[in-house]
Structure 1
Amino acid sequence: MIVSNVSLSGCADFNSALCAGAGEGHLGGGSYRTALTPTGNLVVAVCLGFIGTFGLINNLLVLVLFCRYKMLRSPINLLLMNISISDLLVCVLGTPFSFAASTQGRWLIGERGCVWYGFANSLCGIVSLISLAVLSYERYSTMMAPTEADSSNYRKISLGIIMSWAYSLIWTLPPLFGWSHYGPEGPGTTCSVDWTAKTANNISYIICLFIFCLIVPFLVIVFCYGKLLSAIRQVRGINASMSRKREQRVLFMVVIMVMCYLICWLPYGIMALLATFGPPGLVTPEASIIPSVLAKTSTVINPVIYVFMNKQFYRCFQALLQCEAPRRGSSLKSSSKVPTKAMRGIAGTGPRRTNEFLFMVASLGQPAATVPQLGLSCEPTIDITKAPSSDNKPVVVSLVAHRDG
């Protein structure tokens, strides 16, 4: 989202920042064209077309699954829905306009449309980033809390969702009231915050936006998932082979999440800082459009990573395709209000009459890992819904499930 270097008559030989400023005065009539070649505009249009189409399909499918299957309506899945809704709004309110502008080689909906576009897409993008941070914290607190999850308690997640939107509004409303402003970016086919103005007013806003809307969510995600990995590694003493597989799976998920976050948003942040603090003309239109397109790919990637790699959603997706009921599995609930009874000494009790058994789970807090069909006897486990104690006992998440039949 770098402010555009537009090509205006009589402006070609001037400083690109001055050209961009001149371009803002012509937004109302849409009388300027972008600095990209027709081929460049075509490539951008094709990329945005794919992003908009698949982002719309992926996020709509997530919402359909959530509405159709009751088993998906858990608190933590509600947070996943918030991410999908914000990404879906980007696909509906943003991508079509930038796609149309790229096909025509100029911005089409005027200056007010540019301001609206910049505000709406910044709002939804920051909501998505903050929601990812809230999701990581919820998974971390669920595993480390000394209480069992409660699938009927939506208060904690609802507060997290409200906070994500309120936090985003705090940082996207100021440009509408004079703290920086929204304008053209990149080659002039999209709009966002003015990254190139060298005033103290604009620079102070950009610094705060970079720290509190990009760096802070990233640090929260890394910290929370790092703590989860540390907790999982403590399980090795109980079942080395099982915990190693769990650890490898969680590590793979964490690496994918962090890498996709960085791929989508880090180039965008770097280009914004270069445009803000670098000399005028340092960021070319060709270079600035790449980070903007990468940031929009998060609308396609987020549903794949956070939803379709979730076993519960994947089972429901298979059931939707096959027009049948989803396979039953256990569910790991995501809130922490119901007290959990410790199951110490269970190894000495022998077989029990009930059909309950404890299954050791060390995951990212995703609902519903499929539980194998075990016998009626209880295997020795350690209750690990509690945080690590001073005697360095392993931390595990215990899950009580009922065998079918």
Structure 2
Amino acid sequence: MIVPNISHSCSGVNSVWCSSSSNQRHGQEQNLGPTGHLITAICLGIIGSLGFLNNLLVLILFCRNKVLRSPINLLLMNISMSDMMVCIMGTPFSFAASTQGRWLIGPGGCIWYGFVNTLFGTVSLISLAVLSYERYCTMMGTTEADATNYRKIWMGIFLSWMYSLFWTLPPLFGWSSYGPEGPGTTCSVNWHSRDANNISYIICLFIFCLVIPFFVIVYSYGKLLCAIKQVSGVTKGMGRTREQRVLIMVVVMVICFLLCWLPYGIMALIATFGKPGLITPSASIIPSILAKSSTVYNPVIYIFLNKQVSKVISLRFVLMQYVS
């Protein structure tokens, strides 16, 4: 049941924290209304369920099929793991909060939610950038053969987590903070404070955890596409088919990356630098939902469009039909 009165948002919650969250919105009305909270809950429920199932299927496929455990596919497993953690440790709490129209697990829970979701989201973004660069290096022959490159990939995975922790831990120690966002049913980095301490963190987070990964992805796949075009000039038939397949995948990946993360980044910048109260609850919740939807898109784009994975799935399907 959707609670119609959002005035209960702070019941049982530290009054100082509630006062702070109200100040962050500069008096902005937080209530989405029962219909708005219901729509949000439905979207989060669908995203959480599909994201969990998609990523669980990916992890099962990789665990049960030794042929899929190539170095580059370890990066895909890392992305699926971080996305599934969002579905387990994040989405259920915002879903429950949306069904009740208020945050349910207090200020400590809000800080924890903001931290883990920012961490796992950043890990996923950085891993996508590492994946694109590794694919580029492998194709261009500037790295070791894929089958003998496990140590380098494990190092890339480790560094993606360390890099993400480096940028998501500071709000726990005073450089910015984690708190309520939007209609008060989700939590994230404090986008609303105008002091230099907070603004400096927002700028760094935007540049180092969104802009740079995006340019790494565009650069790597752009160079990869150019290399494939050169090969296509020599081997017309097969090369042209491969070029078209890679082009489609690159375009889809870039569009989905922008669709999922650019609105959230723009919303955060407007909330930080724009006119107070300019971002309404409904306007702020949409980018948040789009960002969470990456947990659904990533497995489809990076895994199920993977030719090697498709072959394994097709083979298993044929074997199941044969046995039955």
Calculate the TM-score normalised by the size of structure 2. 0.89
Instruction: Indicate yes or no: 2:291 matched with 1:277.
Output: no
The 8 Å contact of residues 34 and 189 in structure 1, kept in 2 or not, is answered as: no
The match for 1:137 among 117, 124, 133 is 133
SS of alignment partner, residue 179 of structure 1: coil
From 27, 30, 46, the counterpart of 1:50: 46
Is the radius of gyration larger for structure 1 or structure 2? 1
| Whole-angstrom CA distance in 2 between matches of 1:172 and 1:150 | 31
Structure 1 equivalent of residue 19 of structure 2: 22
Alignment match of 1:234 (pick from 230, 246, 250)? 230
- In the other structure, the counterpart of 1:182 is 178
Query: Mean Cα displacement is larger for which, 155-164 or 306-315?
Result: 306-315
- Matching residue of 2:189: 193
- Give the aligned partner of residue 336 of structure 1: none
- Give CA deviations for 1:237-277 in whole Å, capped at 9, x if unaligned: 32223322222111111100000000000000000000000
Deviation digits for residues 65-94 of structure 1, max 9, x if unmatched?
A: 001011011111111000000000000000
**More moved, 174-183 vs 312-321:** 312-321
User: For residue 69 of structure 1, what is the amino acid of its counterpart?
Assistant: N
Q: Equivalents in 1 of 2:104, 2:317: separation in Å? A: 39
Rounded to whole Å, the distance in 1 between the matches of 2:157 and 2:232 is 35
1:39 is matched with which residue: 15, 35, 38?
Answer: 35
- Please say if residues 111 and 178 of structure 2, whose CA atoms lie closer than 8 Å, have aligned partners that are also in contact: yes
Greater helix share, structure number: 2
Which residue in the other structure is 1:169 paired with?
165
Q: Which runs of 5+ in 2 are unaligned?
A: 9-15, 24-28
Q: Which amino acid aligns with 2:173?
A: F
Q: Which amino acid aligns with 1:131?
A: S
Percentage of pairs with the same residue: 68
104-113 vs 142-151, which deviates more? 142-151
User: How many residue pairs were aligned?
Assistant: 305
**Amino acid of the residue matched to residue 111 of structure 1?**
P
Once the 2 structures are TM-superposed, how far is the Cα of residue 283 of structure 1 from its aligned partner?
0.3
- CA drift of 1:152 comes to 3.8
| 1:258 aligned residue | 254
Once the two structures are TM-superposed, the CA of residue 120 in structure 1 deviates from its matched residue by: 0.2
Q: Does 1:306 align with 2:297?
A: no
**Is the 8 Å Cα contact of residues 72 and 146 (structure 2) preserved in structure 1?**
no
Q: Quick one: which amino acid aligns to residue 284 of structure 2?
A: S
Residue 373 (structure 1) aligns with: none
Distance 1:22 1:74 in 2: 51
Contact 1:56 1:88 in 2 (8 A): yes
Partner secondary structure for residue 147 of structure 2: coil
Structure 1 229/133 Cα, relative in aligned 2: closer, same or farther at 3 Å?
same
The Cα offsets for residues 104-137 of structure 1, whole Å up to 9 and x where unpaired, read as 1000000000000000000000000000000000
Aligned to 1:117: 113
Could you tell me which residue of structure 2 aligns to residue 337 of structure 1?
Answer: none
User: Aligned equivalents of 1:321 and 1:117: distance in 2?
Assistant: 39
Preserved contact between residue 70 and residue 146 of structure 2 (Cα < 8 Å): no
CA contact 2:17–2:107 (8 Å) conserved in 1? no
Q: CA RMSD in A?
A: 2.2
Are the counterparts in 1 of residues 78 and 157 from structure 2 also a CA contact under 8 Å?
Answer: yes
Matched, 1:208 2:209: no
Asked if 1:80 corresponds to 2:76, the answer is: yes
Shift of 1:232: 1.1
Change (3 A) 1:146 1:197: closer
User: Cα offset for 1:303?
Assistant: 0.2
Task: List per-residue Cα deviations over 1:286-321 (Å, max 9, x = no partner).
Answer: 100000000000000000000000111122223444
Give 1:284's aligned amino acid: T
Name the CA shift for 1:53/1:321 in 2 (closer, same or farther; >3 Å).
farther
TM-score, length-scaled by structure 1: 0.72
The 1-side partners of 2:290 and 2:308 are apart by 29
Is the alpha carbon distance of 1:130 and 1:105 closer, same or farther for their aligned partners in structure 2, counting shifts above 3 Å? same
* Other structure's SS at 2:128 match: helix
Q: Given residue 236 of structure 2, which amino acid in structure 1 is its aligned partner?
A: A
Is contact 1:34-1:105 (8 Å) kept?
Answer: no
Q: 1:75 to 1:35 in 2, by over 3 A?
A: same
Q: Which runs of 5+ in 1 are unaligned?
A: 1-5, 10-18, 27-32, 326-405
Of the three residues 146, 149, 159, the one matched with 2:145 is 149
Between the aligned partners of 2:255 and 2:17, the Cα distance in structure 1 is: 33
